[in-house]
Structures are given as C-alpha cells and as structure tokens.
Amino acid sequence: MKYKFKSIRRKIDDLNVPFMSKLFSHPVAVVLVYILANFFSFISPNMITWVSFVFRIGAFAGILVGEFVYAALFAYLAHLFDSSDGILARTTGKTSKFGAALDPLLDRIGYSMLFSILILKLFALNMILESFLVFIMFFMFFNELNFLETCSNYKEDVQFEGKNKLKSRMSQFKRLFSIPIVGKMIKGYVVLMAKLKINSIPSLIETYFVVFIIAPFFMFNYWLLVLGIVLYVPQFLFSLFRAVTTIRRLRD
C-alpha cells in the first residue's frame, strides 16, 4: 500500500488534539483515512468535510424529530469525518487554502445549527432548565468566536501548538497564577499534556461529546449539561483573556 498505518498515525501524533478526539475519534480516523487514501484516492479532503456537514444535518434532523439516539450517532459520525479531513489532506498532500477556510466555516454553521435546534426542542418538551443550560453553552460558543476573531484580526496565535506556542501559553498562565506552588502545578500539567499531545485546556470538542453524543442516551440529564458547561468554561475564559490582552497591547 502507498500509505501505511504508521505514517498516518505519525500525522496524528504530531498534533495537539482534544482529549475526546484522542480517545474516541482518532483511532477510528486512522482506519478511515487508510481506506480512503489507498482505495478511494478520488475522494478529496474537501469532500470529507462536506460529508461531515451532511452528518451534522442528520443530527439536526434527529433532534428535530425527537430521535435523540440517532442524533447522537450522526453527531459522532460528523465529528469522526471532521477529524479525518485534515488528516487525509496531510497524508495525501492535498492541503489547500480553500479547505482550510471551508472546514472551520462549516464547523461553525454546524455547531450553531445543533445548539439552536436542541434549545428549541428541549423547550418544546418542557425541559426548561435543560434548554437554558444549552443556551448558556451556545452563548459561550457565539462569544468565543468573537474573541477568536479579535485575536486573528491582529494575527494573534490562538491554537497553541508547537514549542514556541507552548512558551507563549506558559507566559499567559504565569500572569494568571502568580502563586509559586500553583504555578508549578500548572506548569507540570501543561508540560504533561504537551508530551501526550493533548490540549491542556478542555475545548468545545469535549462539550460537544458530552452534550450531543453522550447526553442523548440519558435524555439530556441536566447534570451532563452542567458538565458540558464546566468543560467549556476554561477555553471560554482563556479566549476572553487572549482577546483582552490583544486589545490592551494595541492600545499600548
């Protein structure tokens, strides 16, 4: 075969990824990319991006009609293909500026669709508290996009990958936590996560897994929704901190 499992795994191992992706989607994505790269070479990464979006539409439809288990399965497949498009592009050398722009655009549309329909569906089922908790997550997601846009407009790096980015991350943590023992604990945690190639801050992906893939099997138990919020808070606050730092730097 032209593309080996080892080389595909290496493409993944070079990335810092969310914990849930590392655990649940990337092992399957390796197999999927292996099959696509070797036996279906006519399929481009951008086509996989669109397939991921179609699965998100399937999850949207599942929530709309109240078939929450099917919605969860579609949500997982959407994330699986969303994880695979970039890996396929790097494996086959088919990276493109269009693909790099298309992927986050469809992600934002897809996430917005799922949050919106879930809020409305839970409200229609008289699950007012659960609907409000999902609304809080949607509010955080929408505002985080604005924070990231603020940073990207001024060419601020918000991905935190690689050695130089790790140093940048550590400097930000030192500003937030000046207590020596706390600083050492945070530094040890960040270094450990960097070695494991896992994002040190829980991200939207963890929240996505809890809310759209796990919670449907438990009829959106409000404790799971609270967990989704708790997992998203660190990334939300850190994005806010980065945006505020960027604005202050410009003013200075």
Q: For the chain, what is the domain count?
A: 2
Q: Residue 248 and residue 35: Cα distance in Å, rounded?
A: 49
> Whole-angstrom Cα distance, residue 131 to residue 227?
14
pTM over 0.85: no
- Residues 64, 30, single domain; the answer is yes
**Would the pLDDT of 7 be above 50?**
yes
CA separation, residue 90 to residues 100, 103, 113, 114, 183 (Å): 12, 14, 28, 28, 36
Residues 232, 134 share a domain: yes
Q: Are residues 113 and 74 in the same domain?
A: yes
**In Å, what is the CA distance from 190 to each residue of 37, 93, 94, 107?**
34, 31, 32, 27
Per-residue pLDDT, 14: 62
- Which of 223, 234, 229, 124 is closest to 169 using CA atoms? 234
CB 210 within 8 A of CB 201: no
Both 218 and 165 in a single domain? Answer: no
Would residue 127 be called left, alpha or beta, if left means φ above 0 and alpha means ψ between -120 and 50 degrees?
beta
Q: Between 226 and 153, whose confidence is greater?
A: 226
The answer to whether 72 touches 213, Cβ cutoff 8 Å, is: yes
What domain range is 174 assigned to?
A: 161-198
Half-sphere exposure of 240 (CA within 13 A, CB side): 11
Do residues 33 and 72 both lie within one domain? yes
Among 6-20, 103-117, 191-205, 231-245, name the most confident range.
103-117
